[in-house]
Structure 1
Amino acid sequence: MPTPAATPDPARTGRIQDLPKAHLHLHFTGSMRLATLHELAEKHRLRLPDALKQGGWPPKLSGRDERGWFRFQRLYDAARACVRDESDVRRIVREAAEDDVAEGSRWLEIQIDPTSYAGGLGGITPVLQIVLDEARHASTDLPIGVGVIVAASRIRHPMDARALARLAAHHAGDGAGQVLGFGLSNDERRGVTSEFAPAFAIAREAGLGSVPHAGELLGPQSVSETLDSLAPDRLGHGVRSVESDSVLARVVDSGVALEVCPTSNVALGVYATPDHVPLRRLVDAGARVALGADDPLLFGRRLADQYTLAHDILDFDDAALAKLARSSFDASFAPADVRAAADHDIDTWLASRQAPDEDAAQDQD
């Protein structure tokens, strides 16, 4: 079930929102505001499931079995069906950037499978071009850089993944408004990981990062197979690598970063409650970690909520939160100047948090 909301603490909320962050795990449709979904459904005269209406949101979900995943996918598909034209695509990209800015994000890598929207927009190429164009505009208009991850789907044929990899490679770059990486998403239990290796080879040859999902719905064996086959720079989730000391050690030693999405893990039943999410163990083992929101539309929690959970439930203090934020930039494909500026501002944030304690100690003396 979704993570219960804690009583808001304005001082804490403001503190976490002020912390500079990079957001590396956010899906295009799943980034939508609920109000936007309702407006798009009305615009296109589509009926939404009750679970996506105000009274039933956020939906109760599970990904632990076929039936639970089918319900999750049905709701996701219902939301995706509301994205019909160019203005819809632009709105979602722009609002995702705006929402991230409001939560202290300086850099966003939004993930999309263009195939899902190709029918109404003339093919996968126009879809990606619209996303990239709006990402460039948002990066110019807002205090955030927006890059794009093109992701293939495990439920489609590996040849489709190769077509997407070639498209991604054609638009490859190293800054905002460009394709930065190539991913693999959807139900981890579907498809054969090694069969997607040729697609990742195409992307890697073009200089794109490798960012497949692994180690959420399946355990450490899935992580090992992905490390062997797809040479990832980051893993979407990867949390279940903790179930094997050897696999976790391999993740740490390889420097592969993990995009950990705590509220997603709980909502999909990977962990029963937030305190079971193994974020602390991953960090203590030396893993590179970047917190992400995954699909806020379905899980009801955005980026800052992941940091709040780490603080309130997993006992990460300000220094540990700053380390997580710094790690998110280190694991990103952001340009060097963006990462350097964020590193400086994270130091400033942490110093501002420690200063009151020092002043109080002097007053007591």
Structure 2
Amino acid sequence: MRVESVRDLAVEQEVRLPRVLYEGYPPQLSAADERGWFRFQRLYDSARHVVRGEEAMRRVVREAALDDGSEGSRWLEIQVDPTSYAPFVGGITPAMEIVLDEAASVNATAEETGSARVGVLMAASRTRHQLEARTLARLAKKMAGTGGVLGFGLSNDERRGDTTDFTKAFRIAEDAGLLLVPHGGELLGADAVAETLAALRPHRLGHGVRSVEDPRVLAAVIDAGVALEVCPGSNVSLGVYNALGEVPLRTLLDAGATITLGADDPLLFDSRLLEQYETARAVHGLDDARIAELARSSFRASAAPADVVTTAMADIDAWLAAPPSSAPRVEVSPRA
């Protein structure tokens, strides 16, 4: 979400936001301990709490697609836990129908508006009961297909809940042919990645950077063809690493892992997707060829339709073959 939109919706709903979303923004965060995660989650929930009703939900989807499109993105996979919005629109099914309908509207006008096209993923929370996750997986299965739900994830603090409790939910989603995209391997280490691989059989893993802490686990990630969504700005903002240079991006790439860059949560980290690519270049020293391969990997690991992938791949090749641009590089902020 745009911070301006959070503030606007708070006024409309007469909701009081934490002061840091006005003064001293962006917040200085750390999730290195439970107290730090609680502060992050409180801010996240405060922002989500202003999204009450259909129009606010549509606004979030539309603006996310426009903002990603303005940076050059072609495809946005937005992950939704409908239980957050269900009380305001009549249930989890209407909540998902609203998101899917707005995504379809965005996709129909993407060429004229310059927005990214949108795919919708559903997510369960590991802080809630496993039976709720199964209910959401069944709904995702019912709504799966072209123009429907494309994937199923697991979100929230990976230090809470037992990953194996969600195996049945992920088997339901797997049976529907959905992309399996749980979070894991950011706040916890390589053992948590190994457990997630065994229990959930993911196609992509949100983060997964700490698989580097055990060569056997990293080899298992690579052998399984699991893509890692590496989010450097998030890793530093949450205190997983102290500086951008410590994020093991090159180590993962050199080992042969499939990597797709992500911004994770631009609202609270004030660090969008473009900045992650600039970090890859300026901090990790990746040249144009490796930058282009990161972009290609993001499409290979996605649920994007064939026409989006084909056009994007051709344009990435054209960018790589073009003479170096004289345009100034985007500076990477030290805080990120």
Alignment TM class, shorter chain as reference: over 0.9
Task: Tell me, in whole angstroms, the C-alpha distance in 2 between the residues paired with 1:216 and 1:355.
Answer: 35
Unaligned runs of 5+ in 1: 1-31, 357-365
CA distance in 1, matches of 2:265, 2:144: 25
Alpha-carbon RMSD: 1.1
The one-character-per-residue Cα deviations of 1:181-215 (angstroms, maximum 9, x if unpaired) are 10001000011111100000111111111111110
CA-CA distance at 1:136 after TM superposition: 0.5
The residue that corresponds to 1:291 in the other structure is 261
Per the alignment, residue 21 of structure 2 pairs with 52
Larger deviation: 215-224 or 312-321? Answer: 312-321
What corresponds to 2:329 in structure 1?
A: none
What is the aligned-residue identity percentage? 61
The answer to whether the 8 A contact 1:318-1:353 is kept is no
Inter-partner Cα distance in structure 1 for 2:229 and 2:148:
20
1:183 counterpart = 2:153: yes
Q: Distance in 1 between matches of 2:15 and 2:181?
A: 33
Flag as ranges the 4+ runs of structure 1 deviating above 4 A.
Answer: none
Aligned to 1:321: 291
Per-residue deviation, 1:338: 1.7
Q: Deviations over 1:83-142 (max 9, x none)?
A: 011000000000000001001111111001001111111111111000000000001111
Aligned positions of 1:82-97 closer than 5 A: 82-97=50-65
Residue 250 of structure 2, aligned match among 280, 284, 288: 280
* Distance in structure 2 (CA, Å) of the matches to 1:239 and 1:89: 31
> Given the two structures, how large is their TM-score scaled by the length of structure 1?
0.87
Give 1:170's aligned amino acid.
K
1:163 counterpart residue number:
135
The structure 2 residue matched to 1:120, chosen from 72, 88, 93, is 88
Which of 298, 315, 319 is the equivalent residue of 1:345? 315
Residue 301 of structure 1 pairs with residue 257 of structure 2: no
Alignment partner of 2:125 out of 150, 153, 156: 153
The superposition leaves residues 259-302 of structure 1 with CA deviations (integer Å, 9 ceiling, x where unpaired) of 11110010000000111011111111111011111110000011
Cα distance in structure 1, aligned partners of 2:119 and 2:5: 22
- Structure 1 Cα separation of the partners of residues 86 and 259 of structure 2: 33
Partner of residue 216, structure 2:
246
Counterpart-to-counterpart distance in 2, 1:148 and 1:262: 23
User: Which residue identity is paired with 2:136?
Assistant: L
Alpha-carbon separation, structure 2, partners of 1:241 and 1:191: 20
Structure 2: which 5+ residue stretches go unaligned? Answer: 327-336
1:56 aligned counterpart, secondary structure: coil
Question: In the alignment, does 2:9 pair up with 1:40?
Answer: yes
User: Are residue 109 (structure 1) and residue 77 (structure 2) matched?
Assistant: yes
SS in 2 for 1:338: helix
Q: Please name the residue that 1:208 is paired with.
A: 178
Residue 41 of structure 2 is matched in structure 1 by: 73
How many equivalent residue pairs? 322
Indicate if the aligned counterparts of 1:173 and 1:179 stay in contact, CA closer than 8 A.
Answer: yes
Which amino acid in the other structure matches residue 151 of structure 1? A
CA distance in structure 2 between the aligned counterparts of 1:222 and 1:237, rounded to whole angstroms: 12
Please list the CA deviations of residues 296-335 of structure 1 after superposition, one character each: whole Å capped at 9, or x if unmatched. Answer: 0000011111101111111111111111001101111112
CA-CA distance at 1:178 after TM superposition: 2.0
Which has the higher relative contact order, 1 or 2, with Cα contacts under 8 A spaced 6 or more apart?
1
Q: What SS class does the counterpart of residue 151 from structure 1 fall into?
A: strand
What residue identity is the alignment partner of 2:145? G
